[in-house]
Amino acid sequence: MIVIPALDLRAGAAVRLAGGEYSREQLRIGDPLAVARMWERVGFRQLHIVDLDAAFGIGANEQVIGDVLASTRMDVQVGGGIRTDDHIEGLLERGARRVVVGTQALEDAEWLDDAAARFPHELIVAADVRDRRVVTRGWLHTLPADIIETVHELNDLPLAGVLVTAVHRQGLQRGTDLALMEDVAGAASIPVYAAGGIASLDDLRALSDRGVSAAIVGLALYSGAIDPRAAAGEFEE
């Protein structure tokens, strides 16, 4: 398993949101490029960028994303408000290794089928999960299928993976939902990325033991609850 630091962007800054609520910031750093370079120096080989403004439909951080892509040797995956093939293509051309798609992919199966065929093994589908149900549109809409049914459907596509975020654990640093992640990993034939509530090296080891391919970690790395050098050194593949 590999650990991937999260870089969430809002109004040109790196932020961590409290409980996933756009209006509540737990952390703000004014120079996201410096943050990306810091994670690279520490030893991380991948980076997960989310454009929160684009995800919430109130703007975009294209310049910052471009600067990070041009300035790092890390493999970078980018998500947030991505709803068109042109947007995917543009990010890949600028140097993103993978593109993360969420609401559009989960609510429009035909679009996802076409996009996955056009960009094979370059898309990660992000599924936010609460009570085993997939939620979209800022967690306001609950889809009829549960996460395991969704994963079975995604298995048939040429995807780079599925990112499952336990939104009921997001930002709490009380540990992730291990039972959920174990069930998802058991159902998936594509790589599983886990996020939400990861708070310690023991959490990371437990996810690795359950077959998770990658863990995306935010606040616990920024706060020092997880030592970044230790995480980068122990979880690098």
Residues known to be catalytic? 8, 128
DSSP codes, the chain: -EEEEEEEEETTEEEEESTT-TT-EEEEES-HHHHHHHHHHHT--EEEEEEHHHHTTS---HHHHHHHHHH--SEEEEESS--SHHHHHHHHHHT-SEEEE-HHHHH-HHHHHHHHHHSTT-EEEEEEEETTEEEETTTTEEEEEEHHHHHHHHTTS--SEEEEEEGGGTTT-S---HHHHHHHHHH-SS-EEEESS--SHHHHHHHHHTT-SEEEE-HHHHHTSS-HHHHHHH-B-
Q: Which residue has the tokens 């703000």?
A: 28
47: closest CA among 68, 22, 18, 23?
Answer: 68
**Exposure of 7 by Cβ count < 10 A (0-12 exposed, 13-18 middle, 19+ buried)?**
buried
How many residues can be counted in the chain? Answer: 237
